[in-house]
Amino acid sequence: MNFHNLIELMDYFKTEQDCIKYLYERRIKNNIKCPYCNCSCCSYLPKNSNRVRCKKCKSLYSVRIGTIFQDSNIPLRKWFVAMYIYLSHKKGISSYQLAKDISVTQKTAWFMLQRLRQISKDYNQSRFDGTTEIDEAYLGGSETNKHADKKNKNEKTCIIGLVNRDTKQVRAYKVISNEKENLLPKVYLNCKDKSNIFTDSYNGYDDLQKHYNHEFVKHCAGEYNRDKKTKDGRIAYKINTNSIEGFWSQLKRGLYGVYHWASNKHIQRYVNEFCYRYNTRTLQDFERFNNFLLRVENETLKYNCLIGKIYG
Ligand SMILES: [Zn+2]
> For residue range 20-73, what is the model confidence (pLDDT) as tens digits?
999 999 998 878 888 888 888 788 998 888 899 999 999 999 999 888 998 889
Report yes or no on 273 lying in a domain: no
- Give the pLDDT score at 230: 86
Mean pLDDT calculated for residue range 125-143: 88
What's the gap in Å between 22 CA and the centre of ligand 1? 21
How many CB atoms within 10 Å of residue 18? 14
Q: In the predicted model, is pLDDT for residue 147 greater than 80? A: no
Question: Do 13 and 102 belong to one domain?
Answer: yes
Distance of CA 244 to the CA centre of its chain: 15
43-44 and 51-54: which strand pairing? Answer: antiparallel
CA–CA dist 56, 59 (Å, integer): 8
Strand partners, 239: 226
What's the gap in Å between 66 CA and the centre of ligand 1? 14
Question: Do 142 and 114 belong to one domain?
Answer: no
What's the gap in Å between 298 CA and the centre of ligand 1? 17
Q: With bands split at pLDDT 50, 70 and 90, how would you rate the model's confidence at 225?
A: confident
Q: With bands split at pLDDT 50, 70 and 90, how would you rate the model's confidence at 312?
A: very low
236 vs 153, residue with greater confidence: 236
CA distances from 84 to 47, 96, 260, 285 (A): 26, 16, 22, 8
> For residue range 82-108, what is the model confidence (pLDDT) as tens digits?
999 999 998 899 999 999 999 999 999
The DSSP call for residue 209 is G
What's the gap in Å between 55 CA and the centre of ligand 1? 7
Q: In the predicted model, is pLDDT for residue 146 greater than 70? A: no
| DSSP secondary structure string for all residues of 138-175 | EE-S-GGGTT-TTTTGGGSEEEEEEEETTTTEEEEEEE
Report yes or no on 198 lying in a domain: yes
Burial 4-15 (b: 16+ CB within 10 A, else e): eeeeebeeebee
Residue 295 φ/ψ region, left for φ over 0, alpha for ψ in the -120 to 50 degree band, beta for the rest: alpha
Report yes or no on 267 lying in a domain: no
> For residue range 246-300, what is the model confidence (pLDDT) as tens digits?
999 999 998 888 877 777 888 999 999 999 999 999 999 999 999 999 888 755 4
Report yes or no on 184 lying in a domain: yes
Question: Do 148 and 55 belong to one domain?
Answer: no
Question: Do 105 and 195 belong to one domain?
Answer: no
Residue 4 in 3-state DSSP?
Answer: coil
Question: Do 93 and 113 belong to one domain?
Answer: yes
pTM: 0.87
What's the gap in Å between 74 CA and the centre of ligand 1? 26
Question: Do 248 and 218 belong to one domain?
Answer: yes
The DSSP call for residue 134 is E
What's the gap in Å between 61 CA and the centre of ligand 1? 9
H-assigned helices in 226-284: 242-254, 267-279
What's the gap in Å between 44 CA and the centre of ligand 1? 11
Report yes or no on 263 lying in a domain: no
Total domain count, the chain: 2
Question: Do 245 and 211 belong to one domain?
Answer: yes
Helix axes 76-88 and 95-102, enclosed angle (nearest 10) = 140
Percent of the chain topping pLDDT 70: 90
Q: How many residues does the chain have?
A: 312
What's the gap in Å between 53 CA and the centre of ligand 1? 8
Residue span of the structural domain in which 289 resides: 6-119+282-307
Report yes or no on 224 lying in a domain: yes
Question: Do 37 and 140 belong to one domain?
Answer: no
Report yes or no on 266 lying in a domain: no
What's the gap in Å between 60 CA and the centre of ligand 1? 8
> For residue range 194-211, what is the model confidence (pLDDT) as tens digits?
999 999 999 999 999 999
CA–CA dist 122, 185 (Å, integer): 17
> For residue range 161-203, what is the model confidence (pLDDT) as tens digits?
999 999 999 999 999 999 999 999 999 999 999 999 999 999 9
The CATH number of the domain where 233 resides is what? 3.30.420
Q: In the predicted model, is pLDDT for residue 124 greater than 90? A: no
CA–CA dist 217, 307 (Å, integer): 41
Residue 71 in 3-state DSSP?
Answer: coil
- Give the pLDDT score at 96: 94
Report yes or no on 50 lying in a domain: yes
Task: Please choose, from the candidates 47, 13, 51, the residue with its C-alpha nearest in 3D space to the C-alpha of residue 34.
Answer: 51
Question: Do 139 and 227 belong to one domain?
Answer: yes
Question: Do 223 and 188 belong to one domain?
Answer: yes
Question: Do 141 and 238 belong to one domain?
Answer: yes
What's the gap in Å between 42 CA and the centre of ligand 1? 8
Rg for the chain, CA atoms, rounded: 22
Question: Do 109 and 210 belong to one domain?
Answer: no
What's the gap in Å between 120 CA and the centre of ligand 1? 30
CA–CA dist 281, 287 (Å, integer): 11
Work out whether the CA dihedral 276, 277, 279, 280 comes out positive or negative. Answer: positive
- Residues 6 or more apart in contact with residue 2 via CB below 8 angstroms: 8, 284, 286
- Give the pLDDT score at 308: 46
- Give the pLDDT score at 19: 96
CA–CA dist 235, 226 (Å, integer): 10
3-state secondary structure 277-309: HHHCCCCCHHHHHHHHHCCCECCCCCHHHHHCC
- Give the pLDDT score at 311: 36
